[in-house]
């Protein structure tokens, strides 16, 4: 189906040509039906159709034109991208803590299995779908979409832009891992890397660069992930229902750190609508301003921290702190040690934000009485941090005792 096919030039009029003229429309009708079943999609409306004409020789030697319609984009790639966003596995992480009380489980939602390797595929797909529905964006128009991001949202946008025919400008900062930056280039995005650790009102702060580009170029569309209501709405519509269904309504605690706040806010709103007793835990790294604002309504000056994708130097509009019940703090070292333990004991690699979530989930679970089901969001893949979390030299350069971390993981595994 992904191949570009033409009417065979040797087809003559008669049965072979009639068969071809019947089969091509029948194939297209079948594909339209499949796409509608997959999500009310159609080949004509969702993919740019390319008309490929080829000459067929009639019975009297007259040249005739036969046009068949095939996708410009490999259909297999499109199907994979659309089908695999969301519906991610829910994994049992209880073995990481053999001392859990009876009846208490810790589960991990494997968001790293989304196509671009992170939970952010959910909001990018949702926002683009909505903008296409209202006519603000048109697929394969070459329109420019701009996104400021610590890496994952920009990567997802770059991937979807490649699939849907948009131009992507991704703005990140120097604190972003080189793997995530290289992933942006791989998808064909134009990348702007700004200074890290600058004040939020600085013109070179990556969020302000997005705003400036959109203001100066009226045709540009800004994803605006930090303040868009579509961000939490995406998780309300997808991640929340998935967790409820996968746990058969038995989830008691959601653990999700925040940066834009969309994941925790949208998911929490859905789950609390189902069961108001569900507790929402939002771990926050030391150095982020969220905790002081949530606990004391006090804006403090942020300090540096290494974990990417969570914590923030400002309060996004996408974050609804009224839904948060507990906000434990964690250190970079705790998050990274947990990442390395998960890799060595569970055979999967997750990023620092997931490490922070799992660390908080295990700490919480040890204090609970069963039955309880704690779900931690595994935000992205550890392969995005091979040069950092899983690089012994980088870890040592930051003062972390790698030998002690790995020895601890080995000891727990032996238990």
Active-site positions read: 120
Sequence-ordered alpha helix ranges (H) in 196-331: 206-216, 230-237, 239-246, 262-274, 290-296
Shortest CA distance to 236 belongs to which of 262, 259, 255, 254? Answer: 262
- For 268-291, b where at least 16 C-beta lie within 10 A, e where not — what string? bbbbbeeeeebbbbbbbbbbbbbb
Three-state DSSP class for residue 409: helix
**350 close to 382: Cβ distance less than 8 angstroms:** yes
Give the contacts of 352 (CB within 8 A, at least 6 positions apart).
306, 307, 308, 309, 310, 332, 335, 336, 339, 385, 388, 389
**110 close to 89: Cβ distance less than 8 angstroms:** yes
Shortest CA distance to 360 belongs to which of 277, 286, 411? Answer: 286
Question: Hey, what are 58's tokens?
Answer: 């009639």
Interatomic CA distance for residues 400 and 332, integer angstroms: 9
Sequence-ordered alpha helix ranges (H) in 297-401: 332-346, 352-365, 392-397
Three-state DSSP class for residue 357: helix
**131 close to 221: Cβ distance less than 8 angstroms:** yes
């Amino acid at each position: 189906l992904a191949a570009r096919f033409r009417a065979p030039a040797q087809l003559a009029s008669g049965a072979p040509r009639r068969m071809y003229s019947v089969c091509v429309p029948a194939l297209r009708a079948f594909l339209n039906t499949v796409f509608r079943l997959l999500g009310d999609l159609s080949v004509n409306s969702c993919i740019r159709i390319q008309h490929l004409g080829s000459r067929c020789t009639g019975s009297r030697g007259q040249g005739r034109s036969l046009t068949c319609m095939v996708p410009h984009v490999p259909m297999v790639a499109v199907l994979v991208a659309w089908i695999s966003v969301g519906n991610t596995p829910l994994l049992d992480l209880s073995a990481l803590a053999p001392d859990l009380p009876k009846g208490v489980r810790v589960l991990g939602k494997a968001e790293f299995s989304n196509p671009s390797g992170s939970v952010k595929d959910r909001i990018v797909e949702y926002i683009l779908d909505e903008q296409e529905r209202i006519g603000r964006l048109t697929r394969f128009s070459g329109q420019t979409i701009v996104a400021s991001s610590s890496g994952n949202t920009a990567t997802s946008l770059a991937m979807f832009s490649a699939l849907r025919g948009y131009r992507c400008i991704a703005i990140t900062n120097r604190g972003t891992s080189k793997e995530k930056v290289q992933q942006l280039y791989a998808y064909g995005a134009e990348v702007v890397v700004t200074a890290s650790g600058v004040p939020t009102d600085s013109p070179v702060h990556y969020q302000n660069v997005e705003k400036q580009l959109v203001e100066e170029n009226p045709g540009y569309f800004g994803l605006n992930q930090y303040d868009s209501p579509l961000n939490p709405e995406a998780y309300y519509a997808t991640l929340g229902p998935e967790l409820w269904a996968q746990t058969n309504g038995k989830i008691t605690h959601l653990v999700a750190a925040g940066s834009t706040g969309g994941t925790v806010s949208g998911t929490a709103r859905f789950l609390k609508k189902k069961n108001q007793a569900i507790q929402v835990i939002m771990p926050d790294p030391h150095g982020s301003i969220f905790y002081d604002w949530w606990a004391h309504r006090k804006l403090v000056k942020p300090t540096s921290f290494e974990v990417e994708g969570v914590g923030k130097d400002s309060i996004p509009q996408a974050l609804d702190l009224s839904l948060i019940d507990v906000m434990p703090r964690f250190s970079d070292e705790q998050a990274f040690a947990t990442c390395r333990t998960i890799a060595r004991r569970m055979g999967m690699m997750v990023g620092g934000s997931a490490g922070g979530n799992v660390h908080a989930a295990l700490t919480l679970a040890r204090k609970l009485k069963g039955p309880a089901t704690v779900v931690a969001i595994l935000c992205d893949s550890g392969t995005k941090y091979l040069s950092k979390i899983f690089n012994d030299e980088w870890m040592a350069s930051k003062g972390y005792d790698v030998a002690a971390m790995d020895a601890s993981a080995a000891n727990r595994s032996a238990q």
